[in-house]
């Protein structure tokens, strides 16, 4: 059971409208933690907020794009009167699948700004308050993509690698101050975003995780950072961390192509 004394009374969930983010919201609400939910799409955001309120907690919502120049200021304004004991950063699924040199550099910058700049800004703001308080938790949602480079999502893979290494260093810095840090590394997870992308999840032998399961795993292992590979994918992460890199990268590339919708390249 999540310790409300450590991670409460309020949690901020960025990317808290659907999929894994909604699962975090539901499970935190079940633990009695009040919520600030942040997401771009108002409809699923309010639906998840209503579901959390029905579990007996207070919920504030912010329908905003974390890429907006004033997003961090708006989040601060909405939370400065709250004691936030947990930050869940689950916003970062804009992989922008395109070969880098022929792609749109502005779109690439968006991947960097969401997965690095916004994550750092929120972690810096709430982490400083938790450090001063002497307790709290920061859960950053990562991806198996961050264990090796992949064609058409090379920048996304790189920022997810950044997130994991950042979490490891932050874990060391905040551990003496009673603040837990965990990078929760996800593999293929059955989320609305994945379904909209048309990824094939019916391949023989493919390990597909459910949002409720990975959210539960992350919250259970939050005190045991710095990294938790969810969904039984630890062996995959270990294999992707080895050498020779050329063989590993080529092999993972061929495997990932099978996930693409029929006819996609």
Active site residues: 156, 160
Q: Which two tokens stand for residue 224?
A: 């045991």
Q: Where are the beta strands (DSSP E) in the chain?
A: 10-14, 34-39, 59-63, 84-89, 136-143, 179-186, 227-229
Local structure of 37: helix, strand or coil:
strand
* Straight-line distance from the first to the last Cα atom of the chain, in angstroms, rounded to the nearest whole number: 44
Q: Which of 203, 226, 222, 205 is nearest to 214 (CA)?
A: 222
Q: Indicate if the alpha-carbon torsion angle 18, 143, 11, 79 is positive or negative.
A: negative
Distance CA 83, CA 126 (A): 10
Q: Indicate if the alpha-carbon torsion angle 119, 120, 124, 130 is positive or negative.
A: positive
Question: Please, what is the Cα angle at 95 between 94 and 99, to 5 degrees?
Answer: 140
Q: Which residues contact 224 (CB under 8 A, 6 or more apart)?
A: 182
Local structure of 2: helix, strand or coil:
coil
Q: Which residues contact 142 (CB under 8 A, 6 or more apart)?
A: 160, 163, 164, 167, 183, 184, 185, 186, 227
């Amino acid at each position: 059971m999540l310790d409300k004394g450590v991670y409460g009374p309020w949690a901020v969930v960025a990317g808290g409208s659907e999929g894994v983010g909604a699962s975090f919201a539901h499970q935190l609400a079940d633990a009695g933690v009040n919520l600030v939910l942040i997401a771009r799409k108002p409809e699923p955001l309010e639906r998840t907020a209503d579901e959390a309120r029905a579990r007996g907690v207070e919920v504030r919502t912010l329908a905003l794009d974390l890429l907006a120049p004033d997003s961090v200021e708006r989040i601060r304004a909405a939370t400065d009167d709250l004691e936030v004991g947990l930050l869940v950063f689950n916003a970062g699924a804009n992989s922008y699948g395109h070969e880098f040199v022929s792609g749109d550099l502005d779109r690439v910058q968006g991947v960097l700004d969401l997965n690095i700049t916004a994550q750092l800004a929120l972690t810096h703001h709430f982490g400083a308050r938790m450090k001063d308080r002497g307790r709290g938790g920061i859960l950053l949602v990562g991806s198996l993509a961050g264990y090796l480079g992949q064609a058409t999502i090379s920048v996304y893979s790189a920022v997810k690698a950044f997130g994991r290494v950042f979490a490891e260093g932050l874990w060391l810095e905040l551990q003496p101050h009673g603040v837990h840090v965990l990078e929760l590394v996800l593999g293929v997870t059955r989320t609305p975003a994945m379904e909209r992308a048309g990824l094939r999840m019916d391949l023989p032998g493919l390990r597909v995780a459910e949002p409720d399961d990975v959210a539960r795993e992350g919250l259970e292992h939050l005190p045991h950072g710095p990294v938790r590979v969810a969904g039984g994918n630890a062996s995959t992460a270990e294999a992707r961390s080895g050498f020779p890199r050329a063989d590993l990268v080529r092999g993972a590339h061929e495997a990932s192509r099978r996930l693409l919708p029929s006819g996609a390249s």
